[in-house]
Chain A
Amino acid sequence: MSQEHFDALIEADERIEPDDWMPDDYRNTLVRQIAQHAHSEIIGMQPEGEWITRAPSLRRKAILTAKVQDEAGHGLYLYGAAESLGTPRAELLDRLHAKTQKYSSIFNYPTPEWADVGAIGWLVDGAAIMNQVPLCRCSYGPYGRAMVRICKEESFHQRQGYQIMLSLSQGTPEQHAMAQRALDRWWWPSIMMFGPPDADSPNTGRSMAWGIKRFTNDELRQNFVDATVPQAELLGLTPPDDALVWNAERGHYDFGEPDWDEFARMVRGEGEIPDLRIGVRRAAHDDGDWVRAAAAAYADKQAARSAA
């Protein structure tokens, strides 16, 4: 196996599998991307998890519990894919806890109202699906396969979120206003989930050549806006963008420029929420250590007994 063989596989749009030879840059790029993705899934449990005890009905509680459990599962699928590249899961979690690896900054926005749970499902999961569907065809086999599983489950996440927004927007004037506030809060952060504009995204070209990425940030962003604006109209809600207008000539919506300075601040991890998120994660990990130790001791005892 060699660079030549690797290049031929990529050229033929074949998949790369864990035992194949691959360039160090390809491996490192994937470990970083998959780990960040996995971290985002498990950190993403927090802003919504906070609402499980406060969900307005038993049905909404059950839905939200299932969704948050799915996010944990998605994290595990992705850690598994990252491990197949030779980096143990424990090491990736250490890097998350030490803040040397990032998670998506979308999870550093607060969720002060119930409608935020709806907006997250509709917009944040909607944007994630837009990003993730092309990743099912990622050139790295285990990542693509994990994404297939994730996308299957993610569809329910977006639909339940939209349904919350639908109930609220058709509810009392107060509920409608709460839905609009949630849209106001989550619209721009969701638009920015696709990453910086193509001109400021130096790694896009290489990731596309490697078949890791299939569309550019701006292409996906446009798809998201085009899909989402009619959904907002159906809710009777207005995205907070004065420049948003249908462009018949392009066959797409024109929209305003996000606040990229805010994006940069969020990526740098400014504000109080990043410490809160990592603190909760570390506590969950540390508080569970005695359980893992006990389980390991029990397994050792059973193994010793069956050997005797």
Chain B
Amino acid sequence: MSTVFPQWEVFVRARRGLDHQHAGSVHAPDGETALRAARDLFTRRQEGVSLWVVPSTEIVASDPADVDALFGPAADKAYRFPTNYDLPPDVDHM
């Protein structure tokens, strides 16, 4: 009888001052063991100073089919970007 562990997503903070970033996944029976596995797998060469593990099934993701509806509209709102505003050269470093 083979035991199959649930999957956990691993996030690593490379150093203080930076966000945790997704690094990959591990399999483990519980969070504590997942942290140990993540430590062994992703931080053998000083790649991080902090780890998060999250059950993969707990990730709620946007649907790729909704990409236009969700992320498209920003493209026609050029006024949200600083480059949309032409200013005289004397103050253009603003």
Contacts and interface: CB of A to CB of B under 8 A. Distances in A.
B61 interface: yes
B30 interface: yes
Interface residues of B, number: 22
Interface string A51-70: 00000000000000010011
A111 B22 CA distance: 38
A299 B41 contact: no
Contact of B30 (A17, A77, A89, A302): A302
Contacts of B3: 289, 292-293, 295-296
Contacts of B26: 76, 80
Mostly, the B contact residues are loop
A90 B41 contact: no
Contacts of B5: 292, 295-296
A9 to B, nearest CB: 10
Nearest to B9: A80
Contacts of A88: 4
Interface string A65-86: 0100110010011001001000
Nearest to B30: A299
Contact of B64 (A20, A90, A293): A20
A146 interface: yes
B20 interface: no
Given A73-B44, A299-B33, A146 B2 contact: no
A69 B64 CA distance: 36
Nearest to B37: A76
Given A289-B1, A295-B33, A296-B3, A89 B64 contact: no
A21 interface: yes
Given A296-B5, A302-B30, 5 more contacts: A19-B63, A292-B5, A295-B33, A296-B3, A299-B33
